[in-house]
Amino acid sequence: MVMPDNNSDREFYKFVEVNGKTAVRTLAFEGLVSGISYDYISLGYTGDNLTSVVYKINGALGTTVATLTLAYDGSDNLLTVTKS
């Protein structure tokens, strides 16, 4: 797989290269939404940063059962994840 070659490409931030191998960059929020039922997840972005994860039951137009709000510092480093 060829990695995007510049930081202005939004896809650049979706992958990480480790030991010559390419992988999809992921965030794991295990435990933050345990104990709830959901069948739909919506992601919200501000620029290149994931800023919200909305969990719903009964699809996209269903009821919101949990929301994760992600906050970043001025260097775009993830600082906090808050569940509401």
Q: Is residue 17 part of a domain?
A: no
CA distance 8 to 10: 6
Which residue range(s) make up the domain with 77? 29-83
Q: Over its length of 84 residues, how does the chain's per-residue pLDDT go in tens digits?
A: 455 555 555 555 566 666 666 666 666 666 666 778 889 999 999 988 999 999 999 999 999 999 999 999 998 888 999 999
Domain contains 61: yes
Residue 68: other Cβ atoms inside 10 A = 21
pTM of the model: 0.63
CA atoms within 13 A on the CB side of 36: 20
Please check whether residue 14 lies inside any domain of the structure. no
User: Is 8 within the bounds of a domain?
Assistant: no
Number of domains forming the structure of the chain: 1
Output the pLDDT for position 71.
94
Asked, for residue 45, whether it belongs to a domain, the answer is yes
Residues with Cβ within 8 Å of 17's Cβ and at least 6 positions away in sequence, in order, are 3, 23
Domain assignment present for 38: yes
- Between CA 72 and CA 79 the distance in angstroms is 5
